[in-house]
Amino acid sequence: MFGRKPKSILTFKSDTINYDQVSDLLAKLWQLLEEKGLENAEVKQIYSVVTEMLENIYRYSDTIKTKDNDSLMLSVFETKSKHYQIVLRNPAETDKATKLKEKIEFVNSLTKIGLKKLYQYEIVRRKDENHSGAGLGLIIIARKTIEPLKIELQKFNDNITLITLTAFMQI
């Protein structure tokens, strides 16, 4: 799959996360990418996708206890020069996980122009409007990635599913 062994540049594993940890991870990511010599605009592309992913798990993830304390997981890999793979895992109620999968399949089905239109619709849409949207964060991620977002669902127990989301980026 990869031309060389993907190199992990940032990893986080835990069963819980607070906003200070989110901020620390993002600050560390920015610093690591800068140290690699990336331009600010390139750093921001990756930072933006990771921010949306981390904020999503901070706000919406369910909390479960696992033996290895790793139900929440974020990994940023450099697969080859300027190619990055971001993997996020989090637990969620099974019906929410299924809905997320449907949203991702919908977002993945859109063309670049379709994504732009959906993005513009979502920034104007108010929360109290009568249906849930695709999720602005998800659209932002999809607009910055080079391949469709990959989602895998794994049953944890009768109510909880582990979601693994993978984004592929080329900067």
Partner 1 sequence: MLEIQLYRMMKPFKIEPTNVSPKIFYDIKKHHFEIGGFSRMENVRAFYQDFFDWFDKNKAEILSTINPSTKLHIELHLIYFNSASLKCFLDILLQFKKLYSTNDGKGSLYNIEVFWYFEEGDEDMIEVGEDYSDVIEIPFTFVESKSK
Task: Using the minimum distance from each CB to partner 1, give the nearer residue, 53 or 160.
Answer: 53
- Residue 51 main-chain phi, psi, to 5 deg: -60, -50
Task: Using the minimum distance from each CB to partner 1, give the nearer residue, 81 or 120.
Answer: 120
Task: Using the minimum distance from each CB to partner 1, give the nearer residue, 95 or 114.
Answer: 114
Taking the complex as a whole, the smallest distance from the CB of residue 85 to partner 1 amounts, in Å, to 19
Instruction: Give the chain's length.
Output: 171
Taking the complex as a whole, the smallest distance from the CB of residue 94 to partner 1 amounts, in Å, to 25
Q: How far apart are CA 50 and CA 120, in angstroms?
A: 21
Task: Using the minimum distance from each CB to partner 1, give the nearer residue, 52 or 62.
Answer: 52
Taking the complex as a whole, the smallest distance from the CB of residue 116 to partner 1 amounts, in Å, to 7
Of 95, 78, 99, 75, nearest in space to 166 by CA: 75
Q: Which residues bind partner 1 (CB under 8 A)?
A: 19, 23, 26-27, 39-41, 44-45, 47-48, 51-52, 55, 116, 119-120, 123-124, 136-137, 140, 144
Of 7, 73, 9, 1, nearest in space to 35 by CA: 9
Which stretch of DSSP H or E encloses residue 149?
none
Taking the complex as a whole, the smallest distance from the CB of residue 28 to partner 1 amounts, in Å, to 13
Which stretch of DSSP H or E encloses residue 58?
helix 40-60
Which stretch of DSSP H or E encloses residue 169?
strand 160-170
Taking the complex as a whole, the smallest distance from the CB of residue 38 to partner 1 amounts, in Å, to 11
Rg (CA), the chain: 16
Task: Using the minimum distance from each CB to partner 1, give the nearer residue, 7 or 117.
Answer: 117
Q: Write out the two tokens for 147.
A: 């391949």
